[in-house]
């Protein structure tokens, strides 16, 4: 029976992701080399830290082409936090550094005086604290995203970040969150789901999301 591979490229929140999978009785293991992916049926790409360091570590550990190939093959993939940002073309955090380029678009920095256009609290919102650390609501923008099965719309998830993704293709956006501006906090396209928040640190709703990923993996493997 193949496992869920949690990619270790030197910058991941591996312990919390691995522990959450164990709690849910998902068969997962930490992967340190692309050759180990032969024993896997799904991939989780976690990440914390800076975009440039992330991409340097991914390349150094020979995971860049492995990740692109995995996604292109249609196998289940979940990205978490920096693992979402790395899927895009580049980031304002590290100018000149290429991302994986799975999705068109860039990663942008929160401005401390950002205001969400048309949001009712925009004019009275206090100056933003950057990074955003803590719980915030995720509004689901896609009606059939399997990762949100059993999760209420506008459920609260745990965030830690100073940058957010800005996809060129609005159709891949699966969730949005208001923090000064109304930004993309989750994407979904075919076999790829990725979130800016941390499901593994988001208590019951986060565990439900990881459980949904496990069910999707079983469905793909059947």
pLDDT band at 219 (very low <50, low <70, confident <90, very high): confident
Distance (Å) of CA 68 to CA 71, 74, 109, 219: 5, 10, 25, 22
Q: Is the peptide bond before 221 cis (omega within 30 degrees of 0)?
A: no
Residue 95 backbone dihedrals phi, psi, to 5 degrees = -55, 135
pLDDT of 119 over the 80 cut: no
Q: What is the pLDDT of residue 1?
A: 65
pLDDT of 176 over the 50 cut: yes
Which residues are the active-site residues? Answer: 81, 198, 200
Distance (Å) of CA 108 to CA 88, 165, 181: 11, 6, 12
Range with the poorest average pLDDT among 83-87, 142-146, 211-215:
142-146
Rg (CA), the chain: 16
Q: Name the residue with higher pLDDT: 187 or 118.
A: 187
Task: Share the mean pLDDT of the chain.
Answer: 92
Distance (Å) of CA 194 to CA 79, 157, 174, 175, 187: 4, 14, 9, 10, 5
At 222 the three-state DSSP class reads coil
CA distance 187 to 84: 8
Domains in the chain and their CATH numbers?
A: 3-221 (3.40.50.880)
**13 burial class (0-12, 13-18, 19+ CB within 10 angstroms)?**
buried
Helical residues (DSSP H) of the chain, grouped into ranges: 14-23, 51-60, 64-72, 82-85, 203-221
CA distance 76 to 71: 7
Cβ atoms within 10 Å, residue 170: 9
For a pLDDT cut of 70, what percent of the chain falls above it?
92
Any long-range contacts for 95-103 (C-beta under 8 Å, 24+ apart)? Answer: 97/51, 97/52, 97/55, 97/56, 98/55, 99/51, 99/55, 100/55, 100/58, 100/64, 100/67, 100/68, 101/68, 102/67, 102/68, 102/71, 102/192, 103/165, 103/167, 103/168, 103/169, 103/172, 103/187, 103/189
């Amino acid at each position: 029976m193949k496992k869920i591979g949690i990619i270790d490229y030197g910058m991941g929140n591996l312990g919390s992701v691995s522990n959450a999978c164990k709690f849910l009785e998902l068969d997962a293991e930490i992967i340190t080399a692309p050759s180990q992916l032969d024993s896997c049926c799904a991939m989780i790409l976690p990440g914390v830290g800076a975009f440039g360091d992330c991409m340097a570590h991914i390349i150094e550990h020979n995971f860049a082409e492995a990740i692109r190939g995995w996604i292109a093959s249609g196998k289940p993939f979940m990205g978490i936090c920096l693992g979402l940002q790395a899927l895009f073309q580049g980031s304002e955090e590290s100018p000149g550094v290429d991302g994986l380029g799975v999705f068109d678009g860039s990663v942008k920095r929160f401005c401390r005086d950002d205001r969400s256009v048309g949001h009712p609290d925009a004019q009275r919102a206090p100056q933003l604290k950057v990074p955003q650390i803590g719980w915030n609501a995720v509004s689901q923008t896609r009606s059939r995203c399997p990762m949100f099965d059993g999760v209420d719309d506008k459920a609260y998830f745990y965030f830690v970040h100073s940058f957010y993704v800005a996809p060129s293709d609005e159709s891949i956006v699966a969730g949005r969150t208001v923090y000064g501006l109304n930004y993309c906090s989750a994407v979904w396209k075919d076999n790829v789901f990725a979130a800016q928040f941390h499901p593994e640190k988001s208590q019951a709703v986060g565990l439900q999301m990881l459980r949904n990923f496990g069910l999707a993996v079983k469905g793909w493997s059947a």
